[in-house]
Amino acid sequence: MHRFESARYTLFVPQGLKLIKGVLIHQHGCTMEGTGIQVATDVQYQAFAKKWGLALLCPDIYPHGKNCFEWNNPEYGSESSLFAGLDRLATISKHPELINAPWLLWGHSGGGHWSLSMLRKHYNRIIALVAYSAAFDSTFSYPPAVAKVPVLLRHAGDGDLTASWAKCPLTAIHNFERLRSLNGYASIAHNLKQTHNLSYIRYMAIPFFEAVLAQRLPLYDGFKLRDMDENNAWLGDTIPNAGGRIYKASSFTGNKLAMSWLPDSTSAAKYLEFINTGTVSDHTPPPAPFHCTIKPTKSKDFEILWEADADIESGIKYFNIYKNGKLLNRYPHDYDFQYFNTNGDNPILPLAPDLRYLIRSSEGYSKSDKYKISMVNHAGLESEQTLVK
């Protein structure tokens, strides 16, 4: 029997994807009901899903009041509701493999508690898990088999929810200790000067997931997950802003179980930056726009249309429109194309703007004019320019 009022599930499947290889389940926290659907429209997560052949599943679980204690334990009906949602969406999407596809779990606060609770029961199905300020410090124990699942725990120390009913820092610390005591693949990130509702967690979560996906997704058809390659593993200090270091796991001679475990050198470097600065920088330019065309409108204006995959590392800030080699305008002109709420990680704009730019007839247009488009990410890096044809 469900304790909560209702649950709704929103699914995104990349266009043209024939076989779903896995599902990112992005579970909101307490009082964040109604924000799940927005994550399914997030262009950065959509690009991530497209790259890895994933679907995005975004739950919205509505309690009778504003109390996530009605759903934060799977036994309260949220587990059976999830399976019912997967079953129904498998039919609607015509992707029957959705029913058995493995999961990436992402959970904030009460949703982080839910994700860790699901780990206890469904470790064979979970590719990796990220818990952002998970709450409630439950004393449940993990079966030894969870050790194979990479887990990233994040808390904000004194800036997090520290009340006796929440205990977010302790939740992260105690779960880290339990998982590492099993020789589990757990890491813990402490973000100083941030809070329960402020984190750039996606900038760490996505590269963490990518490092794990590269090692765990099956090489061929089927859903049997591969084991992580211990030869790739790195370890990291858990204390931020203290000259922390990262180490190749195979050559580290200290107490390995007191260290954060990372899946490879790239994710380890990003982890170190994340615990020291609270974010992860992006040093690579974004992908260029594609399918760029121009056509007349009924009002005798002209319209430039294009497509683009978001920069998986830092998303899309805006596009540059060039005319005859000179910058004509940025699009959107006075706001960011895409960004996210640093509380629930959902997009600021529920729907990103259409990829179209209008050229008024009064501005003048000639077939000899050469238009090009580039993308600029949130690190301020620009892609190559694509010719509009």
Domain parsing of the chain, residue ranges? 6-277, 290-387
3-state secondary structure the chain: CCCCCEEEEEEECCCCCCCCCEEEEEECCCCCCCCHHHHCCCHHHHHHHHHHCEEEEEEEEECCCCCHHHCCCHHHCHHHHHHHHHHHHHHHHCCHHHHCCCEEEEEECHHHHHHHHHHHHHHHHEEEEEEECCCCCCCCCCCHHHHHCCEEEEECHHHCCCCCCCCHHHHHHHHHHHHHHCCCCEEEEECCCCECCECCCHHHHHHHHHHHHHHHCCCCCCCCCCCCCHHHCEEECCCCCCCCCEEEHHHCCCCHHHCEEECCHHHHHHHHHHHHHCCCCCCCCCCCCEEEEEEECCCCCEEEEEECCCCCCCCCCEEEEEECCEEEEEECCCCCCCCECCCCCCECCCCCCCCEEEECHHHCCCCCCCEEEEEECCCCCECCCEECC
> For position 1, what pLDDT does the model report?
67
Supply the pTM of this predicted model.
0.95
> For position 240, what pLDDT does the model report?
78
| Assigned fold of 290-387 | Immunoglobulin-like (2.60.40)
> For position 239, what pLDDT does the model report?
83
> For position 298, what pLDDT does the model report?
83
CATH class assigned to 6-277: alpha beta
Element of type H or E holding 105: strand 103-108
> For position 220, what pLDDT does the model report?
84
Residue ranges of the chain with pLDDT lower than 70? 1, 241-242
User: How far apart (Å, rounded) are the C-alpha atoms in residues 183 and 166?
Assistant: 27
Taking the CA of residue 20 as centre, how many other CA atoms within 13 Å lie in the half-sphere pointing to its CB? Answer: 27
